[in-house]
Amino acid sequence: MIVHPVPNNLNQIIKKPAYVIAVDQGLFDAYKQGVFVDLAIGDFDSLSDISLLDKVLYKRLNPVKDITDTEAALQYALSLNPAHTYILGGIGGSRLEHSYANLLLLFDYDNVSIMTSESVVVKFNVGMHKTKFNGYINIFSQNQAVISLTGFKYELDTYKLKMFDRLGISNELKDTEGTIKVHSGSILVVYTKKEQ
């Protein structure tokens, strides 16, 4: 799914046979980067060039609705039973509330990640999760999660990570691989590149 504002390298991220859904202004962003769109979804109130709808299959949403265009598109994408769904963009820009709402989607839907030019956001449920990343690894909880971190610069052992707890920010791996164990609850993990 392509959601405004988008990464500036969509052609490098999207690999066929991916099914590409553009959400509202994401259609314009995809068109600017030369990305083929299978379907556009939205009420298109923010689409800067409405003539693009003549070039693509689209589903117009009623502007009066109880969910965002992005969530409606995500629900449609998940109805196709993909192995994983990637939201490309949707974080940053002038609408902070949309960024926050898009992050919250990850707590309600499984097998969904958000990717920007700088970061990848994933949800981890209960279990062991191996991770390899040479950058900042940031961990946040929805309500409360119990986690252990091994192989990290700052390790934790069955730590109760509460909602709004900022302890999990800006961690790094000590070596090439670490383990995040989620004993209970679920967490959002934000992988962010270091500035060059």
The CATH number assigned to the domain holding 162 equals 2.60.120.320
pLDDT tens-digit series, residues 11-50: 889 988 899 999 999 999 999 999 999 999 999 999 999 9
The answer to whether residues 62 and 142 belong to one domain is: no
Query: Could you tell me the sign of the dihedral formed by the alpha carbons of 84, 28, 43, 41, in that order?
Result: negative
**Which stretches of the chain score pLDDT less than 50?**
none
Domain range for residue 104? 2-117
With 0-12 / 13-18 / 19 or more C-beta atoms within 10 angstroms meaning exposed / middle / buried, residue 91 is buried
88 CA to centre of own chain = 7
The answer to whether residues 96 and 159 belong to one domain is: no
Which pLDDT score, from 0 to 100, does residue 142 have? 84
The answer to whether residues 56 and 111 belong to one domain is: yes
Instruction: Please give the Cα distance from 24 to 43 (Å, whole number).
Output: 7
Domain stops at, among 61, 87, 117: 117
Task: Write the CATH number for 35.
Answer: 3.40.50.10240
Domain stops at, among 54, 84, 117: 117
**Which has the closest alpha carbon to 100: 188, 10, 24?**
188
The answer to whether residues 49 and 104 belong to one domain is: yes
Which pLDDT score, from 0 to 100, does residue 196 have? 64
The answer to whether residues 86 and 133 belong to one domain is: no
Q: Are 185 and 146 in contact (CB under 8 A)?
A: yes
Which pLDDT score, from 0 to 100, does residue 107 have? 92
First to last CA, the chain: 28
